[in-house]
Structure formats: structure tokens, C-alpha cells
Amino acid sequence: MSLKKNDDIILKIEDMTNEGSSVGHYDGQAVFVTGGVTGDELCAHIIKAKKNYAVAKCMSIITPSPNRISSDCPYSDKCGGCSFRNMTYSAELEYKQRRVENALKRIGNIDAPVRDIIGADEINHYRNKAQYPVDVQNGELVAGFYAYKSHRIVPCNSCLLQPEEFSLCIDAFSKWAKESGVTSYDEKTGKGLLRHIYLRKAVATGEIMACAVINGNSLPNENLLVELLSGIDGVCSVCVNINKNDTNVILGDQTKIIYGKEYITDILLGKKFVISPNSFYQVNHNQCEKLYSIAGKYAELTGNETVVDLYCGAGTIGLTMADKIKTLYGVEIIPQAIENAKLNAEINGINNAEFFCADAFEAAKILENKGIKPDVLILDPPRKGCQSELFDVVEKMSPNRIVYVSCDSATLARDLNILDSKGYKAVEATPVDMFPRTPHVETVVQLVRKKPDTYIDITVDMDELDLTSSEAKATYDEIKDYIFDKYRVKVSSLYIAQVKQKHGIIERDCYNNSKKDNQKQPQCPPEKVKLIEEALRHFKMIS
């Protein structure tokens, strides 16, 4: 019998999900529970029941997992950030290690060894950036974080992940808002001024940047805000970012400095880095140094190499290796980040680096056309992974080694699989825990160009496979998992098969036709067609 809303059940938690909730099975049906830990036996109250899965709330723990600890954060059961506050750090690391291993094996079909995850020495206060959504009610400013999968603000100005000075900055904003009649932005009406408080700290120097993201052109009572913020130790830059768009993207394109410096300066592996508000910068300074050190090791530089660093942000990865590089080319799409990268080369006296503001694929094509043959290619794309069209250019550029840095093991695995078909073998991977207490994990991988003869064999193999190669890209279970993880919707193999068939992807016999003559098959409903198509696009099986 399947579960119904408001049922109370006893559930054994078997695993954690990619999004950080926990999962167990009841009569074969998956039940997702926030707040569970693998190994817990708990009492779960069903809040949503679908045909094949249910979502539940943990009411009480009957037998705690040996890995369960009590959360040290008063907000953790409401805020969507730290899913692992109830778990020992060693269990968290084990889970993340397994997650990377599974992704490489199951999604990527990659059998490269995965080295032990590099854990963090500091699991609290490690972040160097916070973006607090705000709400002002009767002059009182509430800043905090969005609750899990919602835009409801959980008030919190002392998050355990953030530097302690950030609480003082929030207090300064609150005082200013109260005395200046500041309104907060309302997503529904598009009215109101203050959208986010955006704070950044350069951990190595202690410099802090405080930024008000506003739906307007200027701040009321700006001098008061500057006075309050500049009195806080470390604050050396106060700015206003203008974002009048109806969007979830936090920052707008334009930033005005209203006090102090245009950027803050951090130090990574002995090199100085200036960072503007719009530039990407790794959020965990100490773990970032470990990550870049491994990336440097995987690059195997001797000083004679040409290196292309695609998706380079403020130039950080390439520049930390610049002393051992002959010529470095960096590519990044955000103009402010490229300006930072150029300045970063200059302030470190690095003159063997060139930076381009462009789309990674477009720039790679141009570099390739110019005959630039990198010895080492660094890829550090955003969560969604590399653009699929980039891989043909990579193949033409034919670097000897690729260092791939990724914050999403699923898209990493997908890309490693494509790179394998382009002649690049993953040699080894190292997960690095950049985001303790949250479900995210970073991974760095070394790939090398296969020997020409093996590579030719493989090319032939792939050609022969041609029509079925897209079939090989993601299994039915991976497609199901993707849709389920993202939308909590179950799709059957039959429906996947129907959508694959619609797109001309060769089908396995068993799902292709009904076994009995004249038997009518259920047809995939249009809303599920859309989800399956999205998954196929995600796995690059259709464009």
C-alpha cells in the first residue's frame, strides 16, 4: 500500500541526497526527509505523497545513527544552507568521497582512482562571502538566508559559516535602515529599495568590502551608512550595486564605490589578488590554496609550457602557477573579473600572461585558429559544466594535459566521459571539501592525452557506435535520478524511451515496442516529456 499524506511511519535512513536531505525506503517507496542522517531510525510524518515517492518531516529520532551529533547552529533546521550540521565531519567527508566516486563511475563511466578527499581544518567561519536577502518591516531590517527551496527569509545575522565581522556589518545596515526610512525590495511588486547586503572578506589581509544591492540609483542617508560601516575593523570598501532587474541574479552590472577602495586584496599561495564585487572568487581561502596546489601538481609544469586557463575568473589559478609557465592565456566572460585578472598579473610582476574577456568556446576557437597549442589546459567552468561545443576545439588544440576543476561532480563526470571520447584519459581525481557542512563538494582531475594509437582505436570505436553513442551517455536510472533530484517527479523507463524515440535516439528493444500485439502503451504526458527532454539536454543527449 502506498503512503498517504499525514501518515506517520518509522523509517531507516539509508543515504543522503545530492541536495543534502536524507532518504530511506518504506515498502519499496523512497521517502525523503530533511534532517535525517544515514543510519538513523526515525519517526517521519508524510507531508507529500506521490505515486512512487514521498516527502516527510522528521518528528523524532528513535535510534540515532552513530554519526549523528546535535547541531551547533540554532538556525540549521530552518535555513537551507548547512544540511550536514547533524552529522560528524568524518561522516560528511565519507559521504562526499563516495558521491564523487559514484558520479565518476556511474555517470562518467570513468574508472580513474579517486584520492582521499582533502578535508578542512576549519569547518566554521570559513566563507569569505555572504549575500543576505533583506526585509524591512516598520523600519526594522531583517537579514538572513532563504529557507530550503523557498524565498522566505530565515532571519540570521550570525551564521556559523561566515566571518564574525559580518554580524557587525549587518548591525550597521540595520541601524542605518531604521534611521533612514529604507524600504526593502519586494520580488512580487518590483518596488522597494534594498535587495541584498553583499559582504566579502579577504581572509589573508582582513580587508572587508560591504555592498548594498539596490533597486534604485542611490542610497538615502549614504553618509550614515559609510560612517557606521567604516568604523568596523577591516572594512575598507563600501559600495552600492545597482540591480533594477526582475531577476534572481543578485548583482547588477553597475557598482559605485561610496567609500574607500574599489576592491579588496587577498593573498593565495603567495600571490596578491584584487577582487571586485562582480568577480568570482573561491569562497574558502584555505581550502582554495589546497585545491590550487593540487591543480598545480596535476599541471606538471617545468617552465616551458603554454597554458590556457578557461573560465579563469580573476585569473587566480593560472597566476598562482605563472612562475612555472612560459606563456599563460586566461579567458573569462565577466569584464570586471578580466580587469582584475590583468591587474593581478601586474601587481605580482607577472608579464607572461594575457587575459581575454570572452566566452570560453569563442575564445578557444580563436586561440586554436591562431595556432596556439597549449601544453596544459585548465578548465574550471560553472556548475553546469563546459559548453558541449568546446570539446571539439579542445580536441583540435590537443593539449598534453587537462586540469579540470569542478564544483559539481555530475556535470564533471559527464564532461570527463566526453573528453574520454575526444582522446583524454582521466588519470586521477581529488575531491576537496571547499564547503564543509553543506552538500557541495569540489573536485580536481588530471587528464592526459592518450597515446596516438589508443586514441585512434577509440575514435574508430566511437564512430562505429555512432547511433548508439548518445544512448551510452546516461542510463535510464541517471535520467530518472536527475529528474527526481531536481523536481521530485518520477518518470518511467517507458516514458524515457518514448521521448528518446521522439528525438531519434536509438532505443533498446525492451522499451521500444509492447511485447504483446495490440497492447496499448500508456503515453508519456506532455509535462513529463518536458522534464525528460530537459534531462536529455542536461546529459547532452539532445541539443
CA distance 73 to 160: 7
Q: Show the binding pattern over residues 379-398: x = contacts ligand SAH (CB under 6 A), - = does not.
A: -xxx----------------
Of 33, 268, 312, 483, the one binding ligand SAH (CB under 6 A) is: 312
CA distance 403 to 295: 6
Shortest Å, Cβ 245 to ligand SAH: 17
Tracing cell 568524518 back to the chain, one arrives at 90
Q: Which helix (H) or strand (E) holds 63?
A: strand 53-63
The catalytic position among 156, 239, 288, 407 is: 407
Shortest Å, Cβ 313 to ligand SAH: 3
Stretch that binds ligand SAH, among 118-126, 166-174, 328-336, 394-402 (CB under 6 A): 328-336
Q: Rule CB under 6 A: say whether 317 interacts with ligand SAH.
A: yes
Stretch that binds ligand SAH, among 210-218, 305-313, 434-442, 467-475 (CB under 6 A): 305-313
62-81 residues in contact with ligand SAH (CB under 6 A) are none
388-447 residues in contact with ligand SAH (CB under 6 A) are none
Q: Rule CB under 6 A: say whether 280 interacts with ligand SAH.
A: yes
Residue 414, all three cell numbers: 559527464
Q: State the CB neighbour count (10 A cutoff) for residue 497.
A: 22
Residue 164, all three cell numbers: 564574525
CA distance 191 to 183: 9
Angle at 336 between CA 331 and CA 338, to 5 degrees: 25
CA distance 131 to 197: 6
Tracing cell 523600519 back to the chain, one arrives at 139
Respond yes or no: is residue 288 known to be catalytic.
no
Q: Is 27 helix (H, G, I), strand (E, B) or coil?
A: coil
Q: State the CB neighbour count (10 A cutoff) for residue 122.
A: 11
Query: Would you say 380 or 420 has its CB closer to ligand SAH?
Result: 380
Q: Rule CB under 6 A: say whether 359 interacts with ligand SAH.
A: yes
Are 335 and 313 within 8 A, CB to CB? no
Stretch that binds ligand SAH, among 98-106, 182-190, 276-284, 453-461 (CB under 6 A): 276-284
Q: Rule CB under 6 A: say whether 332 interacts with ligand SAH.
A: yes
The sign one gets for the Cα dihedral 43, 47, 50, 53 is negative
Residue 239, all three cell numbers: 559600495
Q: Rule CB under 6 A: say whether 282 interacts with ligand SAH.
A: yes
Shortest Å, Cβ 275 to ligand SAH: 9
The closest residue (CB) to ligand SAH is 313
Of 145, 311, 424, 482, the one binding ligand SAH (CB under 6 A) is: 311
Q: Which residues bind ligand SAH (CB under 6 A)?
A: 280-282, 311-313, 316-317, 331-334, 337, 359-360, 380-382
Residues belonging to the active site: 407
